[in-house]
Copies of this chain bind each other. A is one copy, B any other.
Amino acid sequence: MQEIKGYLRRIELLGNAMGVLNWDLEVNVPPGGVKGRAEVLGYLSGEMYKLITAPEAGEYIAWLEQQNLTDPVHKGMLREMKKSYERLVKIPADRFVAFSRLTSEAQAVWAESRRRNDYEMFKPYLKQIMDFEKEFVGYLGYKQNKYDTLLDQYEPDMTTAVLDKVFGDLRDKLVELLTGLREQGKAPNNDFLKGHYPADKQKALNREVLKLMGFDFNRGRVDISAHPFTTSFFNGDVRITNRYDEEYFLSSFFSAMHEGGHALYEQDISDELYGTGLATGVSMGIHESQSRFYENMIGRSKGFWEYFFPTVVKEFPNLSGARPEDMYKAVNTVEPSLIRTEADELTYAMHIIIRYEMEKAFINDEITVDEAPEVWNEKYEKYLGIRPKDYSSGILQDTHWSGGMVGYFPSYALGNLYAAQFLNTMKKDMDVEELLREGNLEPIHQWLKDKVHKHGAVYTPSELVEMVTGEPLNPQYFVDYLAAKLRTVYNID
């Protein structure tokens, strides 16, 4: 066991090194350093491949399988080790490298084709990427639906059968809620948010809210990058990035809370899990549940703004005429829009459902890259009542496909669902709204740490959700939470 832990620790240390190199690439590398950095990362990826597929890994797995393991940590260790080992040994190394080269190139082509609004330019890359994904499914096998195999990479054990039901149901209910708001509700006013918000003051404000959340600046930092992200080298060094729009401070503010949620998860992972391969978030969906919890369930709650609004006014006196309630309502405005990353809490899920339906159709050969833009536009028209007028605000908007991350999107919506389900349970243990009004976020953080964060990847997402909430994934909590909030915001009943 000690030998296996030593082996897993080497993988962690190499991963940590690659994490620093990737973070530095996003945050610091000067233009002339990009190509060289890619070469270093390519070299280390090769070393990682060698480590994970080393002959002794197969022996360790075989040995562990004979041990009749009872400790959940040991069981999780075997599960995760087996998964990454089998994935890598089943896919031929040269196809892996070819795919990695293709997606590196495709990222640049995608960025350029989006800039030019030129789908034809990106189309051959999209075709090749989807072909690769199908080829990989061929190597890895599948039970019910080919897409399950891709999904499983980001959300272990999640299946298309479950998602069809969950997302279908969610879609119908959200459309119904949206229609209700439009027909009976009164949209909030957010004109008072117009103003100039210096980046330095935004940084100071974001620091305040991160401290309030419990982010430990002794074990993390905040930097600037083109798109906000969180990266963790281990629980003692967890880094957030952000960007600052001086016309609209809420963009960086909610990014700080969102990334802060990811960061708390990583900072709270138990020290004991190092050397087991489990010192990481269990899945993208669970990770996203933590970021969406802090961004939305906290950051768009009434209690939070009652406590925090004076702090905002201190930095931005132009807001002094508004009340906390105005702010609460303004940040909960619902408006169907074309760009996922700018969507409100309600329509966000619709964007994800569209991506999910399209990915599934691609992998099961139900649509071609030629038909895809039209299918995309029709879905937007049908679910959100709006239609992209160009490729850049339509099918070309997201980076995931060019990056080869097919199967990733559902995590974003699952995150919302898990978060609402966790919140529902948390409310049985404490008066969350009252704690928010008092600005006392510590018990909330501690609850999440104990129930979710400290376990890292010991349990699967479904085991964890069941352990924490006593039932499997149930999207009704999210619908109820959202309906209750938006009805208040839109003055219905």
Contact = CB atoms under 8 A, between A and B. Distances in A.
Interface stretch (A8-16, A182-190, A422-430): A8-16
A483 interface: no
A218 B34 CA distance: 10
B39 A13 contact: yes
A162 interface: no
A466 to B, nearest CB: 32
A44 interface: yes
A16 B219 CA distance: 25
B216 A32 contact: yes
Q: Count chain B CB atoms within 10 A of each CB in A14, A30, A47, A219 and give the residue with the most.
A: A30
Interface residues of A, number: 33
A20 interface: yes
B24 A221 contact: no
Interface in A19-46: 20-21, 24, 28-37, 39-40, 43-44
A40 B17 contact: yes
Given A30-B219, A33-B219, A219-B33, A10 B43 contact: yes
A10 B40 CA distance: 9
A35 B221 contact: no
A236 interface: yes
A456 interface: no
Number of copies: 2
Nearest to A216: B32
A234 interface: yes
Interface string A221-234: 10000000000011
A470 B374 CA distance: 74
A217 interface: yes
A306 interface: no
Contacts of A303: none
B43 A233 contact: no
A33 B39 CA distance: 26
A97 to B, nearest CB: 16
Contacts of A43: 10, 13-14, 17
Given A13-B40, A37-B237, A233-B36, A220 B30 contact: yes
A40 B44 CA distance: 13
A16 B40 contact: yes
Nearest to A267: B32
Given A20-B24, A36-B234, A233-B36, A218 B13 contact: no
A16 B38 CA distance: 11
Given A24-B24, A28-B221, A30-B218, A17 B44 contact: yes
B30 A221 contact: yes
Interface of A: 10, 13-14, 16-17, 20-21, 24, 28-37, 39-40, 43-44, 47, 216-221, 233-234, 236-237
Leading 3 A-B pairs by shortest Cβ distance: A33-B237, A32-B219, A32-B236
